[in-house]
Amino acid sequence: MLDIPTPVVNYILSFLIEARSLAYLLVKKDGCLLAWGGKLAAYGITNLCKGENIGEQIFFLEGLLPLDDAYLFLPLIKIEHGICIDIHIFSSQEGDWVLLLDSTRDENYLSPIQQKTNDHSLLQEKLTKIKNQ
């Protein structure tokens, strides 16, 4: 493990919790919600019920769990309320952890770049068609 100074770890934790609205869920291997915390309300997630199936409570997790001792990273997922999130899912002895981090800022940065790329591709196709006629 890296030898990371405590002030650096504290900064990273504060950044993730505040700037990225860190939220977490712990789901047993049978799909039932065991624990949760963090800034779930920032993602419109409220009224969770311990012991109930997670896929019935949070629609975008349906079919993703349980994991087979692997990890899953889903970047820039658009959920309800127009929020864009990064979803990290990994296994532990307790069950599967689901971490949610706000990635709206990343999306706002990348969207115009992607749009320019798409526009360029369309223009290339038009030019190719004109050239071939």
**Could you give the C-alpha distances from 79 to 28, 33, 40, 64, 84, in angstroms and in order?**
23, 20, 13, 15, 6
Same domain, 73 and 37: yes
Indicate whether 113 belongs to any domain: yes
Mean pLDDT, rounded, for 17-44: 93
Same domain, 83 and 27: yes
Nearest to 22 by CA among 115, 70, 85, 78: 85
Q: Please indicate whether residue 111 or residue 69 has the higher confidence score (pLDDT).
A: 69
Same domain, 115 and 97: no
What pTM was computed for the model?
A: 0.76
Same domain, 66 and 109: no
Same domain, 52 and 110: no
Q: Which domain holds residue 132?
A: 105-133
Same domain, 85 and 115: no
pLDDT value at position 126?
83
Same domain, 61 and 111: no
Task: Tell me if 38 sits within 8 A of 17, measured CB to CB.
Answer: yes
Indicate whether 10 belongs to any domain: yes
Indicate whether 1 belongs to any domain: no
**Could you give the C-alpha distances from 98 to 26, 35, 79, 117, in angstroms and in order?**
6, 10, 15, 32
pLDDT digits (tens, 9 = 90+) for 39-61: 999 999 999 999 999 999 998 89
pLDDT digits (tens, 9 = 90+) for 88-132: 999 999 999 999 999 876 555 556 566 777 777 887 888 888 888
- The structural domain count of the chain equals 2
